[in-house]
Amino acid sequence: MAREITGFSNPIVKRVRSLRDKKHRRAEGRFLAEGLRILTEALDAGVTPEMLWHSPESANHPLVVRLTEATEAAGGEVVVTHPDILSKLSGKDNPGSVLGVYHERLVPLDQVDRSTADIWIVAQALRDPGNLGTMLRTGDAVGAGGLILIDDCTDPFSVEAVRASMGAIFTQSVSVASWADFVTWLRGGPGQLVGTSLNTDVDYQAVKYTAPTFILVGNEAQGLPADYEAECDLLVKMPMLGKADSLNAAVATAVMAYEVINQKRRSPA
């Protein structure tokens, strides 16, 4: 049975709204996802919200009915509330018709099974949540195993990153590690570490990639540190034919990922 909440001062509203802040997300171990498409993607991936919020106007939408039934069947709570409260929770003037509260989904690095995919994406000191979300979306598109975040990256469970992922936060493994721990783990098994860099003349299409390929992309402004580049098995560069000297980090990741899978498609094992 759905609960109805109509007051902004309700403590549950305040608690859920606090999940827009990283400090509270970490303390609660939960995050927000907003919009029918993203919540449906989560459900299709076998993930149901701990708490589902929707407006009375959307109650009879077939996807909302499906989400409601799945949430209640899994022991979660369904809350019906006004669009103004949904706007307060999501931080958007025109929020989607549904919002979900989910448990954070970080996978410890030592539990990552590299054999499950030919491509893995590794981001170092990534600062922009839109880039992070887009990398997750790219990873989903190319069948990557997941995203490994190195050093002090932006929070993958921020509202902005989750929104940019378009549901891929629920289909991609996400891990967080220091550089030293990542290198130790990587060298403990098979894996080709490929860094994108301006400090090389090697064209990204002129080399052979071997699975599993770990695509390493550095900070948007600084790129990869020199010692990180030295650890790479390959450093590659994408040609820049205009006046800009580099691609956006998420775009570069997508270009690299599709080159890796295109090589595999042209030469299937």
Q: From first to last of the 269 residues of the chain, give the pLDDT tens digit.
A: 789 998 889 999 999 999 999 999 999 999 999 999 999 999 999 999 999 999 999 999 999 999 999 999 999 999 999 988 998 888 776 666 799 999 998 999 999 999 999 999 999 999 999 999 999 999 999 999 999 999 999 999 999 999 999 999 999 999 999 999 999 999 999 999 999 998 999 999 999 999 999 999 999 999 999 999 999 999 999 887 777 666 789 999 999 999 999 998 887 65
3-state DSSP percent of the chain in helix, strand and coil, to 5? 40, 20, 40
Give the list of residues 6+ apart from residue 194 with CB closer than 8 angstroms, or none: 209, 213, 214, 215, 216, 232, 233, 234, 235, 236, 256
Q: How far is CA 198 from CA 107, 152, 224, in A?
A: 31, 22, 10
Cβ-proximal residues to 19 (8 Å cutoff; 6+ apart), any chain? 25, 28, 30, 31, 32, 101
User: What is the residue-wise DSSP string for 232-256?
Assistant: -SEEEB----SS-SS--HHHHHHHH
Tell me how far apart the alpha carbons of residues 159 and 20 are, in angstroms, rounded to a whole number: 6
Distance of CA 240 to the CA centre of its chain: 27
Q: What is the pLDDT of residue 95?
A: 60
Q: What phi and psi, each to the nearest 5 degrees, are found at residue 139?
A: -60, -40
Q: Which fold has domain 109-266?
A: Alpha/beta knot (3.40.1280)
For residues 230 and 141, give the distance between their C-alpha atoms in angstroms, rounded to a whole number: 29
Q: What's the token pair of residue 51?
A: 């708490």
**Residue 182: φ, ψ to 5°:** -65, -45
The domain locations on the chain are 3-103, 109-266
Ranges of beta strands (E only) in the chain are: 3-5, 30-34, 51-54, 77-81, 98-103, 119-124, 146-150, 173-177, 192-196, 213-217, 234-236
CB 225 within 8 A of CB 131: no
Long-range contacts of 59-66 (CB under 8 A, 24+ apart): 61/36, 61/97, 63/36, 64/36, 64/97, 64/98, 66/40
**CATH 3.30.1330.30 corresponds to the domain 3-103:** yes
